[in-house]
């Protein structure tokens, strides 16, 4: 059984990882054995963790949300909303550590432990970078392989994003679902600007398909 599962991550080889938010746990569904295994979590809510890698056995997450492989498939990044952190889970060694976020509810860029996060809503990797939306900060941010966080769009200052929830990335840019404006926004890699991709009245009238 699960309790408010949110994030899903498939490894392509018969394993589906699930962030079981209500149980503060990371779980694995193995389609080859038809078994569900709890990898992290006992049902209790965990506390802030630092950079030091510790055994995931007996460790508890705190309202985990989305999941993503980064920097490769040996590591799972967990958006740990309750501690305002991105955590890194080493699958083979069964260890967990802080990847970004010092536990303070904030929006400071830079490297750990100086950087801070608020409410990460979605994760996506592209070109050796981890892209994520921060719902509370109305922002689009990235984490590179060196552990440096950069804010690409600060919606609080620019008013270009309101409540960015989901995102996906391709070779042209980042597509973002903005639930407050009921639009899909696009951050263009070439211009480094964000604009309405679809959803507003003006865009809908130009869109060649019927929108229900």
Whole-prediction pTM: 0.90
Q: Tokens at residue 133, please?
A: 């939306």
Q: Residue 191 gets which letter from DSSP?
A: T
Q: In which residue ranges of the chain is pLDDT below 70?
A: 200-212
CA angle (85 as vertex; 82, 89 as ends), nearest 5: 105
Report the alpha-carbon distance of residue 149 to residue 54 in Å, rounded: 23
Q: What angle do CA 52, 139, 208 make, to 5 degrees?
A: 130
**Which pLDDT belongs to residue 31?**
97
Model pLDDT for residues 116-154, shown as the tens digit of each residue: 999 999 999 999 999 999 999 999 999 999 999 999 999
SS3 188: strand
| 35: β partners | 30
pLDDT at residue number 200: 62
């Amino acid at each position: 059984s699960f309790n408010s599962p949110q994030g899903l991550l498939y490894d392509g080889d018969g394993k589906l990882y699930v962030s079981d938010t209500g149980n503060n746990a990371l779980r694995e569904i193995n389609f080859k054995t038809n078994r569900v295994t709890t990898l992290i979590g006992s049902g209790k809510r965990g506390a802030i963790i630092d950079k030091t890698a510790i055994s995931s056995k007996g460790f508890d997450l705190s309202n985990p949300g989305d999941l993503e492989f980064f920097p490769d498939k040996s590591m799972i990044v967990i958006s740990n909303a309750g501690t305002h952190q991105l955590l890194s889970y080493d699958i083979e060694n069964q260890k967990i550590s802080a990847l970004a976020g010092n536990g303070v509810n904030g929006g400071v860029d830079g490297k750990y432990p100086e950087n801070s996060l608020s409410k990460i809503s979605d994760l996506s990797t592209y070109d050796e970078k981890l892209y994520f939306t921060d719902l509370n900060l109305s922002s689009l941010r990235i984490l590179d392989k060196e552990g440096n966080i950069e804010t690409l769009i600060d919606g609080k200052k620019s008013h270009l994003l309101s409540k960015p929830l989901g995102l996906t990335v391709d070779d042209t840019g980042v597509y973002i679902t903005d639930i407050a404006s009921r639009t899909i926004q696009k951050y263009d890699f070439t211009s480094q600007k964000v604009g309405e991709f679809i959803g507003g009245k003006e865009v809908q009238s130009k869109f060649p398909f019927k929108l229900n």
